[in-house]
Structure 1
Amino acid sequence: MAIGFDFGTANCSVARIVDEQVRVIPLSENDVYLPSTLSAPNAETVSEYLFKCLNIKPANTIGESVLRRAIKINHEEGLNVRHDDVHFGQSALDLYLDDPKYVYYVQSPKSFLGTQGLRDVQLSYFEDLICAMMANVKQQVEKQLDNAVSDVVIGRPVNFHGRGGEKSNIQAEGILRSAARRVGFKNIEFQFEPVAAGFEYESTLTADKTVLVVDIGGGTSDCSLINMGPSWQGKANRTDSLLSHSGLSVGGNDLDIAIAFKKFMSEFGLGTEQLSGLPVPISQFWNCVAINDVIAQRDFYTLENLKQLLDLTKNAKQPEKIRRLSYLHKGTLGHSVVREAELAKIALGKQEQYVSSLNLLEDTVELNLLKEQMADAISEPVRKITRMIKEAEQQGQTKPDVVYMTGGSARSPILRAAIKSVLPNTEIVSGSYFGSVTAGLSRWADVCFK
C-alpha cells in the first residue's frame, strides 16, 4: 500500500489514492492535519522512547551513543520513560502552553534540517525527533487503514537551507530517508513539494498549460515551472515537463518571526540603551524569537546568557523592558511569542487591526497592531519570495499561462499582491492551501508504486 506523506514544517498530512480519487487519512481523531510539534519531559526522553516503547533501534554507532547517554540521564533524574510521555500535535502544544517551563517542546523540526556546522551527535538527535514524529504518523495511518504501509512518497522543498546549498539538501534528505526506514517504510521516494502540488492542479486541467506553482509553506517557499495537462497526466517520466525550480528557506515561520522581532521586541527593550549609552545588543532580541534557528535558540537559552540578561537589566536605562527578556528565558516562552505573532498575521489578513497579548507568566504585554505595520515587518521576506519567483521564470525562459498558489501563507493578500506585481498579466489561481501538496504526493505515489 502506497501513501503520499507531507512532512510539513507546520503540519503533517497523509493521503492515498482509492478508485482514482484522493483519500486524505485522519491523523488525530477526525483531523487530517497534525501540527508538527512534539513534547516530552526532557530532550533525552525521545531517544529512549523510540528504543524502549517503539522498539526502533538507533541508525548507527553515533545513535547508539546518543541512546546510552539518554538512558543514563533519565535514570539519574529518576525518569522511567513510558509510552505516554511523548506527545504530538495539538496535545504537545497544549502541554507546552500549560506549563512551558517544565515541558521540553519542539516545533517544526523540519526547519532545522540542512543546518550546517552541527556535530554528528546533534544530527543524530534531530533524526530521532523526525523518527518519533514519523512513527506516530505511520501508526495513526495503519490504525485507520487496518493495514501495513510500506511504500511512501515524501515531499521535500527545493532547498532545505539556503546557506548550505546542495550539501544541506543531501544532509536533510538523508536524515528523512534514514528516519523513514527506521520506522518501517520499505520503498521510499521523494518529490519536490511544488511539483506535487502541480500534480494535484493538473488533475483539474482539460487542456495543456505552462503553470508556475508557488508553494509558500511554513519553513520554505518554492517555485516550479511545469508543462502540465492531459498530455502529461499519469506519466512516470516527467523530466521534459519540468522547466525550472527555485526555492529558499523563507516561509510562514519567517513572517511570524519578523513580526515578533520588529513589532513585539520593542516592548522587551529593542532599540533602548544601557546606562553607558551603548545600545542593548540586538542578538538578544533576535535569538529569543528565531525558533527555526537551532544555534540562535541554543545561545539564548544558556545559563550564561541568563546571567548576561540579568546584568543588562541592572545597567539598562529602561530595566522594566529588559527584565521581560529574563522572564522569556526562564519560562522558555519564545515559541509562545512567535505563536502570538502568527495569530496577529492571520487576523491582519482579514482586518485592519489586532490586539496581541503576550503572557510572560510574571508580566503581560498588550500591543495594538495595524495591517500596514505587519506589511512593513514582513517586507524583507516578501522581497525574497518575489525574487525567487523571478528566478524560476528566468530559468525556465517561458512565461507561465497561470500561477497556481498553495501553502498556508499563500492566503496572505500581501503575498498575492507581491506576486501580481511580478506577473501582472498572469492569472493567479489557488486550490487547497493546505492539502494540494499531500494530494499531489499521493497521486505521484500511485504512479511510482504501480
Structure 2
Amino acid sequence: MTFSSFAGFDFGTSNCAIGLYQDGRPTLVSLPDHGSYMPSTLFAPTRDVISGWLYQKLKQKNMADVYQNARAQHIETSLGALREAMLDGFDSELLFGQQAFDAYMEDPFDCYYVKSPKSFLGASGLSARHCQWFEDIIAATMWHMRGQVAQATGEYPDKVVIGRPVNFQGLNSEQSNRQAISILTQAAKFAGFSQIEFLYEPLAAGLTYQASLKEPKRVLVVDIGGGTTDISMMEMDPNFDYKFDHQRLVLGYSGERIGGNDFDIALNLQTLMPHLGMNQTLANGQPMPHKIYYDAACVNDLPAQSHFYSRESEKLLLDLKDDMQSDYWQRLHRLKHEQLTQSLNRSAEQSKIALGDSIEYQCYLDYLEDGLQIFVYQQQLKQASEKLTRALSSLIHEVLTQSGCQPDVLFLTGGSANSPVIKRFLAEHFQGIQQVSADNFGSVTEGLTRWARQIYS
C-alpha cells in the first residue's frame, strides 16, 4: 500500500469527494461504500464516542501519537462511552454518508447525527471544546475516506490539497476563516495527512474548465455549494504555465455564506412550516412567535438548533398549546421531541430538487402526522429564493467592479449553481453570454487534484 501519494479533497457542505492522478489524468475515486460522492454526514450513538472511535482507528495503524497528545484529557472518557454504547447494543462503528442518514431516520431521537459540519466551522461563539468536537468529526470523516481510497486503489494519500470557500462566514470573515482553516488543518493532521495545502474552490473549478479551452477567455466562475457561494472572474488560458502562481489568473473574487442549504431553509419556511402553525394567529389574537420556526429550520446554525431543542422552547410550546390549532401544535411538538428538524430540511431539499423539472411537487410529511402530504409549487421556490438571488447579485456586482470587465462565458459549478432558478437569474443578468455547466461536484475535486500534482510532484 502506497503512503506517499497526493490527493485533492473536496470537503463539501453537501458532499465529499477525493481525487487522485491515475493514468495521467485527475480521477475521482469511486469509494466502495459511497461511489464518487459521499454525503457530508456522520452518525454515532452519542457525541462522546467519536474521540474514542478515532483513537482506536489511529492506534491500529500506529498513528495515534499526535491525536493522543492533543486529547489526553478526553480519550479515556470517550472510550468508556464507546464501551457503554456497545453494552447498550449499539454498533461500535461510526457511519458516514447515506448510511449515516439511513441510521438517523431509523431512530432520530436516540443518536448523534451531524449533517454538513462544514457549515459550522466559521461560526461565531464556538468554544475551544466545540472546536475540538468539530476537529474530531472532520478527522473521523477524513480517516474514513482515506480508508475508502486505500480499499479502492491501494493508495493511502498523505499529501492533500483541500478546497475552501473564499469566506466561511459573512460576518467577521477573517476571524471566521482563521478558525475554520485551523479546524480543518488540525483534523487533517489527526487523520494522517503529512502535508496540507488549501485552494479556493472557485479557483479549483476554474482550473478544471481551463483545461478544456482552446483559446484565452475571461470566465466568471459561479460556484454555489451547499453552504457558500463564491464568484470569481478569471483570465483563463489553455497555455497557462502552472509553474507560476495560480493567483495571477484571478481578476476579482468575492464570497458569502449562502448556498443550497439556505435555499432549503427558505423553502422550508415558505412552504412547510406554515403546516406546523407558522404565520397563524393564536386564539388569543396574538401572532404566532416566529423564532421557534426559524430555529427549527436553520439546521446549519448550531445556536439556533440548540435553542429549538432547549427547555426554554419546551416551555414556550407548553404555553402555546391552548392557543394553537391542535394539529399544528401536535406536529410542532413531534418535530421537537423526536428531533426531526433534519428530516424536515431533507423534505424541503427534495422539494427544491423536484421543482427544477416540475411546476409542483407532492411532499410527504407522514413522519410528523400519519398521512400528511402537501403540494409545493415552483412559484413558491422562486419567491423563497428572492433574498438569496439578491445576495448573489451583490456578489457579482462586487466581482465585476474589481475586475473592470465583463466575462466571455459563465462557468457554473457546485450543487446549486445549475438550479433553474439560478440559471434563469444569470441569463437575465448576463444576456447573450454563454453559460457552461460543469459537473456539479466533480469540477472542484478535479481542480484540487490538478493543483496537488503541481505542488507535490
For normalisation by structure 1, the TM-score amounts to: 0.94
Deviation at 1:283, TM superposition (A): 0.8
Is structure 2 residue 405 aligned with structure 1 residue 398?
yes
Counterpart pick for 2:20 among 4, 16, 20: 16
Q: What does residue 10 of structure 2 align with? A: 6
Residue 129 of structure 2 is aligned with which of 121, 126, 132? 121
Alignment-mate amino acid for residue 15 of structure 2: N
Superposed counterparts of 1:232-243, under 5 Å: 232-243=240-251
Post-superposition CA distance 1:225-245 (Å, at most 9, x none): 111112315334123221111
State how far apart, in whole Å, the 2-side matches of 1:361 and 1:259 are: 18
Does 2:39 match 1:31? no
- Secondary structure of the residue aligned to 1:408 is coil
Classify the secondary structure of the residue corresponding to 1:54. helix
User: What is the identity, as a one-letter code, of the residue corresponding to 2:194?
Assistant: K
- CA deviation digits over 1:55-74, x for unaligned, max 9? 34675877444445544555
Greater shift in the superposed pair: 327-336 or 225-234: 225-234
Residue matched to 1:175: 183
Please give the alpha-carbon distance, in whole angstroms, between the structure 2 residues aligned to 1:23 and 1:384: 34
Measure, in 2, the Cα distance between the counterparts of 1:233 and 1:432.
25
Give me the CA root mean square deviation.
Answer: 2.1
Indicate yes or no: 2:391 matched with 1:387. Answer: no
Is contact 1:74-1:80 (8 Å) kept? no
Secondary structure in structure 2 of the residue aligned to 1:152: strand
Say whether residues 1:146 and 2:150 are aligned partners. Answer: no
Contact 1:313 1:322 in 2 (8 A): yes
Moved more, 228-237 or 97-106: 228-237
After superposition, the Cα gap between the structure-2 partners of 1:85 and 1:419, relative to the gap in structure 1 and judged at 3 Å, is: same
The whole-number CA distance in structure 2 between the counterparts of 1:129 and 1:79 is 23
Superposition deviation, residue 210 in structure 1: 1.1
Q: Distance in 2 between matches of 1:283 and 1:397?
A: 42
Residue 223 of structure 1: aligned partner: 231
Pairing 1:208–2:212 present? no
Q: Structure 1: which 5+ runs fail to align?
A: none
Q: In 1, distance between residues paired with 2:30 and 2:168?
A: 27
Deviations along 1:288-320, whole A, 9 cap, x unmatched?
A: 11110001001111244223212212332x232
Which moved further from structure 2: 66-75 or 320-329? 66-75
For 2:164 and 2:91, the matched residues in 1 are separated by 29
| Unpaired stretches in structure 2, ≥5 consecutive residues | none
1:434 and 1:109 map into 2 onto residues whose CA distance is 17
Cα shift at 1:134? 0.8
User: 1:340 matched to which residue of 2?
Assistant: 347
Distance 1:338 1:311, change over 3 A: same
Q: Distance in 2 between matches of 1:322 and 1:358?
A: 15
Q: Deviations over 1:81-119 (max 9, x none)?
A: 987431001110111112212222110000101001121
Q: Match of 1:314, SS?
A: coil
Q: Which amino acid aligns with 2:272?
A: F
Find the residue that maps to 2:416 and give its secondary structure. helix
Paired-residue identity, %: 38
Tell me how far 1:185 sits from its aligned partner: 0.5
Q: Matches of 1:135 and 1:77 in 2, distance apart?
A: 21
Deviation per residue, 1:149-190 (Å, 9 max, x gap) = 111000001111112211100100111011001111011110
The alignment status of 1:193 with 2:201, answered yes or no, reads yes
What code does the residue aligned with 2:216 have? D
User: Residue 56 of structure 2 corresponds to which residue in structure 1?
Assistant: 52
Which among 417, 422, 427 is matched to residue 415 of structure 1? Answer: 422
Aligned residues: 449
- Correspondence for 2:169: 161
For 2:108, the equivalent position in structure 1 comes to 100
Cα deviations by residue, 1:180-235 (Å, 9 ceiling, x for unpaired):
01111011110000100000000001111111111111111111111111231533
SS in 2 for 1:101: coil
Counterpart secondary structure, 1:429: strand
Equivalent residue number for residue 306 of structure 1? 314
- Residue 80 of structure 1, CA deviation: 7.7
Instruction: Specify whether residues 297 and 79 from structure 1 end up closer, same or farther in structure 2 by C-alpha distance, changes over 3 A only.
Output: farther
Equivalent position amino acid for 1:422 in 2: H
- Range 412-421 or range 361-370, more displaced: 361-370
Among candidates 373, 377, 394, match of residue 380 of structure 2: 373
How far did residue 256 of structure 1 move? 0.6
1:32-59 deviation digits (Å, cap 9, x = unpaired): 1111111011111212211234334675
Preserved CA contact (<8 Å) 2:212 2:238: no
Give, in whole Å, the separation in 1 of the partners of 2:13 and 2:328.
32
Instruction: Name which of structure 1's ranges 192-201 and 77-86 shifts more when overlaid on structure 2.
Output: 77-86
8 Å Cα contact 1:193-1:437 kept in structure 2: yes
Q: Compute the displacement of 1:287 (Å).
A: 0.7
Q: 1: distance between equivalents of 2:101 and 2:377?
A: 27
Structure 1, 292-301 or 48-57: larger mean CA deviation: 48-57
Shift in CA distance, 364/292, structure 1 to aligned 2, threshold 3 Å: farther
Structure 1 Cα separation of the partners of residues 82 and 375 of structure 2: 44
2:53/2:82 contact within 8 Å kept: no
Change (3 A) 1:38 1:77: closer
Distance 1:143 1:82, change over 3 A: farther
Match of 1:424 among 431, 436, 448: 431
Partner of 1:355: 362
8 Å CA contact 2:234, 2:251 repeated in 1: yes
What secondary structure, in the 3-state scheme, does the structure 2 residue paired with 1:343 have?
A: helix
